[in-house]
């Protein structure tokens, strides 16, 4: 599992999802697609893409991830 997921508890709380292995993989896949990261990008690359977002853009991830997961 990617290393940055340990910093994403807020997102799991917003999505009302348990942070288990299956959901972490689902959220990681959705975030990579939204951020434009490749599946084979390493953790630091995905984390850098996430960190480059402004706070408002990070908050806007919630509905996009929710939609990507079909929630």
pLDDT at 70: 93
Reading the chain (71 residues) residue by residue, the pLDDT tens digits are 568 888 899 999 999 999 999 999 999 999 999 999 887 888 888 888 999 999 899 999 999 999 999 98
Structure tokens at 53: 């977002």
pLDDT at 2: 65
Among the listed residues 48, 24, 26, the one whose alpha carbon sits nearest the alpha carbon of residue 37: 48
In which residue are the tokens 């348990």 written?
18
pLDDT at 1: 53
Please enumerate in sequence order all residues whose Cβ is within 8 A of that of 39, keeping only pairs 6 or more positions apart, or say none: 29, 32
Domain boundaries, the chain: 3-69
Torsional sign, CA 24, 27, 33, 34 = negative
**Single pTM value for the model:** 0.86
């Amino acid at each position: 599992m990617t290393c940055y997921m340990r910093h994403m508890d807020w997102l799991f709380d917003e999505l009302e999802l348990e942070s288990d292995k299956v959901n972490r993989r689902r959220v990681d896949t959705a975030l990579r697609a939204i951020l434009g990261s490749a599946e084979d990008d390493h953790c630091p690359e995905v984390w850098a893409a996430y960190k480059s977002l402004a706070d408002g853009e990070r908050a806007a991830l919630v509905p996009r991830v929710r939609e990507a997961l079909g929630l």
